[in-house]
Amino acid sequence: MTYVLHYAPDNASLIVRLVLEELGLPYETRLVDRRARAQEGAAYRALNPAGLIPALETPEGVIFETGAIVLWLADRAGRMAPAPSDPARGDFLKRLFFTSNTLHAMLRMTFYPEKYVGEDAGAQAALRAQLVARGEAMSLPNALSLLDRELSGSEGVDVLSCYLACLLRWCALYPAGDTGWFALSDYPALQRMVASLEGRPAVLRAARAEGLGPHPFTLPQFAEPPEGSAT
């Protein structure tokens, strides 16, 4: 089976591409043209009714939701995630689901605040301010600090490290001009994790395919893809 990854450059599909590359699985890509808002069209919504990128065509049908895709791939391959019978499975799952359901979701709110609070500029600014605050409420800095503590002794490459590497990249880049709250050095365990990924062949292949530059995680730059648009 050759998988089909419906993607846009430097979108959440990048996480899936990294896992496919690490697992050495055969796959093809189909560009979702964000400039034409193809993700909102009927053809794409037939694959992912949520209208979000990515979607992955598999022998068992189409899967959407990034966390679900990468966990399914890891379980099918028997690599890049603890097996269901492994005592480490519970810790792995809580971190993966926290990353997907909390960290990724909050980050998306900073990218598209209008989808959550409407077109009022003041409401959008207030939402962003709350999401990057360092107080007691859950926020992006607090979520990253939690994961930094959780992963302080972790080694190796798994679907969670691929997921987090991309989120950390986007923390540094988006929204353009509004990322002053983030410094990778504030999270030393996460910084070591992403630095260890950058020289891996799978990462280099994905970075070339999507125009991410030589240091996509530690010194990220805006994508210059050979096709499509990241935004």
Question: pLDDT digit string (tens) for 161-170?
Answer: 999 999 999 9
Helix boundaries (H) for 61-197: 66-77, 89-98, 105-111, 114-117, 121-131, 140-150, 159-173, 188-197
Domain boundaries of the chain, sorted by first residue: 89-199
Q: pTM of the full predicted structure?
A: 0.96
Q: In the predicted model, is pLDDT for residue 40 greater than 90?
A: yes
Run of H or E including 42: helix 42-45
Average pLDDT over residues 186-196: 97
pLDDT at 174: 96
What is residue 77's predicted lDDT score, i.e. its pLDDT? Answer: 97
Q: What is the pLDDT of residues 49-64, one digit of tens each?
A: 999 999 999 999 999 9
At 154 the pLDDT is: 87
Cα(41)–Cα(114) distance, integer angstroms: 20
List residues bridging with 56 in a β-sheet.
Answer: 5, 63
Question: Looking at domain 89-199, which of 3.90.870.10, 3.40.50.740, 3.30.930.10, 1.20.1050.10 is its CATH number?
Answer: 1.20.1050.10
